Amino acid sequence: MSPRRLRRFGPPLALGMALLLLWQAATLYLNIQDWLLPSPLQILQAGWQARGVMGPHVWQTIQETVIGFALALLAGLTLGMSIDYSHWLRRALYPLLVLSQTVPVIAIAPLLVIWFGYGILPKVLVVGLVCFFPIVVSTADGLRSADPDQIALLRTMGASRSDVFRLIRLPGALPSVFTGIKVGITYSVVGAIMGEWVGSSRGLGVFMLRATNAFRTDWVFVSIAITAALSVLLFGLVNLVERILLGWYYASRRTEEWAEVS
Amino acid sequence: MTQQALISVRNVSKAFSVEGRLVQAVDNVSLQAREREFVALIGPSGCGKSTLLNLIAGLMEPDQGEIALRGDRQTERLGRIGYMPQRDGLLPWRRLLENVTLGPEVMRRDLPAVREQALALLPLFGLQGFERSYPHELSGGMRQRAALLRTLLCEQEVVLLDEPFGALDALTRRTMRDWLLGIWERFQRTMLLVTHDVDEALLLSDRIYVLTPRPGRVALEIDVPLPRPRHEGLLNDPLFASSRESILTALREHDG
């Protein structure tokens, strides 16, 4: 690890390891029952043993998450751009979108099962509902934040409205859009699991429920660990895409940080 | 004025509503620039310089009066008058070469040819070797030069410069002034420079309009009697001193 990475990832890794060690020691010396709180090593062992059984469940959840998120991205970008496109749409849509966020998704999920059955569709929709809002808002705000001077400049070059959008507003909005995408993606796996709880025969959420009912606390923890790992993985992927697409943005932010320090 | 004006502003007025109050930004201003002429507009802040430039560029229309390009006031000015804003306006996500060829890209001209042209001009603009740099990697002077190159590559008939060196330190500003002189002599484009630096205006331009603040009016029009090519040494010329005196007097009379 390079010194910079070590400085960044070192402290959280060290703290995490210390907490796990504490946990391990506590379960050993305080004589805590396995069904109440299994030790980290026991959880690791249980996960390894259950890998064959868990495989299809995990795969199901991944599918729901990815499809649902793709849907949220599509809907979020489209709605965000529509809001930006016309004042009328902004006034009509924005309050409704905010209002839609006050309805708990967990209350809508059973309705989706009634309407769309026990297949993958209702879970995909739950993921979509959970993730799309931050993307809409960040897209609309990002497009709105374009520099009026740069727009004026482009107009003196004879640019049309679509030129301004393509050359200034859209690229300028991308950092904000990615912020929304990152907020959305952290909710996505949890969204899929909520969808599965309401009615499903496969998925991490189902596995979690069954483990709870069987008092297999170790399996519950395994599912939690996998859920977290999936979320982190997806977040990391988005981050990677962002760094590739927005190299200029990070480079210019580093320069600003330097200017502040020196 | 025998030669026809390339751009002429006649009795133009423009007011804005600020917090419910009507503020007259530009009041009955007339001015013109002939082909290949360097004209300076000088005045304190609040004299409506930026509004005037926005009007000339076609970004807004006057309340009264008219603006004509080559004697024709029906012409669409947007796209035909180059504009270099006070802040460089470089796009942070574009490398230098893509930034300076933005205009031709918008105008859908032959991009590979324009790129060649831009690359050939980089040394003259002190930007050689920086074609792949992002704006944040450039110094303030380099960014302003890049912005001017971008404006010139648009190949428009008139170029408006809105205090192009206002944000630079005094030393860089002087170098840039001499450099701009060379650029103008080489490109022979009609230029309209807004500034509040009297020496800068005198050294660069053929004609100067002095504007008054709130509302912006023309207080004085003066032909600069200095020969070309110009250089820094002319700052001590008696002709220069008397012109400077009359400009400063005009500015002082309308102070406050």
The reply to whether A38 falls in a domain is: no
> Which residues in chain B are closer than 8 Å to A251, comparing Cβ atoms?
134, 136-137
> Which residues in chain B are closer than 8 Å to A255, comparing Cβ atoms?
136-137
The reply to whether A252 falls in a domain is: no
| B238 at A interface, C-beta within 8 A | no
Instruction: Identify the pLDDT of residue A257.
Output: 60
Separation of alpha carbons A204 and A209, rounded Å:
9
Instruction: Identify the pLDDT of residue B207.
Output: 94
Q: Is the CB of B91 less than 8 angstroms away from the CB of A252?
A: no
* Helix, strand, coil content of chain A in percent (nearest 5): 85, 0, 15
Instruction: Identify the pLDDT of residue A137.
Output: 92
- A67-71: average pLDDT: 96
Mean pLDDT of chain A: 89
The reply to whether A121 falls in a domain is: yes
Domain count along chain A: 1
Inform me whether the pLDDT recorded for A255 exceeds 70.
no
- A87-114: average pLDDT: 88
The reply to whether A184 falls in a domain is: yes
pLDDT for A216-233, tens place per residue?
A: 999 999 999 999 999 999
- The amino acid present at A24, given as its one-letter code, is Q
**Percent of chain A's residues with pLDDT above 70:** 96
Instruction: Identify the pLDDT of residue A102.
Output: 87
CATH number of the structural domain spanning residue A149:
1.10.3720.10
Among A70-74, A208-212, B54-58, B163-167, which stretch is predicted with the lowest mean pLDDT? B163-167
* Helix, strand, coil content of chain B in percent (nearest 5): 40, 25, 35
pLDDT for B69-84, tens place per residue?
A: 888 887 788 989 999 9
Inform me whether the pLDDT recorded for B53 exceeds 60.
yes
Cβ atoms of residues B222 and B240 within 8 Å: no
Cβ atoms of residues B31 and B10 within 8 Å: no
Which of B136, B148, B161 should be substituted to probe chain A, the one whose Cβ sees the most A Cβ atoms within 10 Å? Answer: B136
Which of A145, A153, A161, A255 should be substituted to probe chain B, the one whose Cβ sees the most B Cβ atoms within 10 Å? Answer: A153
The reply to whether A257 falls in a domain is: no
Q: Is the CB of B78 less than 8 angstroms away from the CB of A155?
A: yes
Separation of alpha carbons A227 and B67, rounded Å:
66
Instruction: Identify the pLDDT of residue A6.
Output: 80
CA distance B234 to chain A (A): 34
Q: Is the CB of A149 less than 8 angstroms away from the CB of B85?
A: yes
Please state the domain extents for chain B: 1-80+160-256, 90-155
pLDDT for A17-51, tens place per residue?
A: 999 999 999 988 988 888 888 989 989 999 998 88
The reply to whether A242 falls in a domain is: no
| B60 at A interface, C-beta within 8 A | no
ipTM beyond 0.95? no
Range of the domain at A69: 56-234
Separation of alpha carbons B247 and B44, rounded Å:
12
> Which residues in chain A are closer than 8 Å to B102, comparing Cβ atoms?
154, 157, 167
Residues whose CB falls within 8 Å of the CB of residue B209, separated by 6 or more in sequence, listed in order? B31, B39, B40, B41, B42, B218, B220, B221
For residue A8, the tally of other CB atoms under 10 A from its CB is 12
What's the fold here for domain B1-80+160-256? Rossmann fold (3.40.50)
The reply to whether A83 falls in a domain is: yes
